[in-house]
A and B are shown apart, each in its own frame.
Chain A
């Protein structure tokens, strides 16, 4: 159930584990197997057209023996009978069900949420219909500085629109990123003409039938287009109604096999929650790559195979404004919120040899467990190489690598791609030096 990263990953893995299995995928949408992650970049004109985002055509799934039922809504689950009930009443039996219903954007909870013209970036067809509107539009409002909000703000400014970003928190992406990580991004938005409205609550969408702007705690902003980028919430109404256990995050409870509380029912992707690896506290609404891997685990096990998923350390990264930002598990803000004790090492290094054109500053912050100095989390901002550093540091955290290990790590030095001193090693060395200087340093 679901044709996103998790559903398609599950269908492919089920077919691989059991080539004779009959695999059906139900999706409300007109398409499967496209990359929603690329949509903001087409709106921003960094990518020329939507066609490149389609990974596989419909024939591919037919040839692979996967029966995709497009524009088919599952209305309820009859887990007792082993059936899903489709809109219109058709009942379809199953031996194993995989719930991969993904996410919905949180309801902004203000008047006007039903107005025409409010854009929720998800379905590629709706994005294709909406994109030409941007050619005429002059002024845009993006609601919430979520990861998608950051991408859409950057995209619309790049497209030449006067772009306003409205967010109730004091800085961009504050639920994930620290203020010193967000600061260069915000400065670069200012250079691009973005008008930022932080610490500003959305109060209403304005307009009679079509949205014409927003009312905020700081006043009204007129706009030709409004994009809603509220945080992702698990789309679990059907699972709840079928008495499948839901956790404190609102995500479906699963084990390492992606099995739910009901026999024969598996779940994967943004509709589930999984534990974070160092705290074992559940998290929900991760990334497309998590959804795809979880789908593969669910699909394999649903088809009789054996595959386990590990708790997560959540490497993340993205382009925002003129910068790349990223991290692993916790930053100072989130560790501080949870009250996790940490010792920190910070450094500013460079991405290439100091004489090589196009080098960027790279700021790295490493959070380590006091005592053992095992890596707990990281935050980074720079111009290149952030993704690779985040992937590496997530594995380092998973394997119990310490600041001491990182301080003496080996690194590639090649003028166009790496400086003599790796910023991660510098941050770890600074963390150790701070520790040697004693408390309060």
Chain B
């Protein structure tokens, strides 16, 4: 597993867990996720998730786009520019 795969697998897991916890607060009758123990999870829950959340979405998205992947190859399709109904130039 490459570094980017490791990072994505873990960040996805703990960000989802944090979101599930918020959803449990928002929707009555929904149980929050059960946190597993250990030192590794502590880093992801206490350091990574809060740090990820203070960064504005546009920056976060730019950082994620720096990761290797299919999005770095050629796609003629352009996503719509944020805040507008027109494609990015």
Given contacts A170-B31, A171-B30, A339-B60, is CB(A334)–CB(B76) below 8 Å? no
- Interface presence of B84 (CB below 8 A): yes
Residue pair B24, A374 in contact (C-beta under 8 Å): no
A residues apposed to B, CB below 8 Å: 169-171, 174-175, 178-180, 183, 198-199, 201, 245-251, 253-256, 272-275, 277-282, 308, 310-311, 332-334, 336-341, 369, 371-372, 374, 400, 402
Contact A249 B5 (CB under 8 A): yes
Beta-carbon contact of A372 and B83 below 8 Å: yes
Using known A-B contacts A179-B30, A256-B74, A372-B82, determine if residue A337 contacts B68 with beta carbons closer than 8 Å: no
Asked if B74 and A255 sit within 8 Å, CB to CB, the answer is yes
Knowing A170-B33, A337-B16, A372-B83 touch, does A247 contact B4 (C-beta < 8 A)? yes
Q: What separation, in Å, do the CA atoms of A339 and B67 have in the docked complex?
A: 18
The answer to whether A339 touches B20 (Cβ under 8 A) is no
B5 shortest CB reach to chain A, Å: 6
Q: What distance in Å separates the Cβ of A207 from its nearest Cβ neighbour in chain B? A: 26
> Cβ of B12: which chain A residues have Cβ within 8 Å of it?
337
Contact A170 B20 (CB under 8 A): yes
Partner of B77, one of A273, A281, A310, A374: A310
Do residues B79 and A281 form an inter-chain contact, with CB atoms below 8 A? no
Q: Which of A183, A281, A333 contacts B20 (CB 8 A)?
A: A333
| Contacting residues, chain B, for A308 (C-beta < 8 A) | 76-77
B73 surroundings in chain A (CB, below 8 A): 253-256
Knowing A281-B71, A340-B57, the reply to whether A199 touches B31 (Cβ < 8 A) is yes
A to B CB contacts below 8 Å, 21 in the list: A170-B33, A178-B23, A178-B27, A183-B27, A183-B29, A199-B31, A199-B34, A248-B7, A249-B5, A249-B69, A250-B1, A251-B70, A256-B74, A275-B70, A275-B71, A279-B79, A280-B79, A333-B16, A369-B83, A374-B85, A400-B86
Question: CB of B64 within 8 A of chain A?
Answer: yes
Q: B69 to A253, Cβ gap below 8 A? A: yes
CA distance A60 to B86 in the complex (A): 45
- Is there contact, CB below 8 Å, between A278 and B80? yes
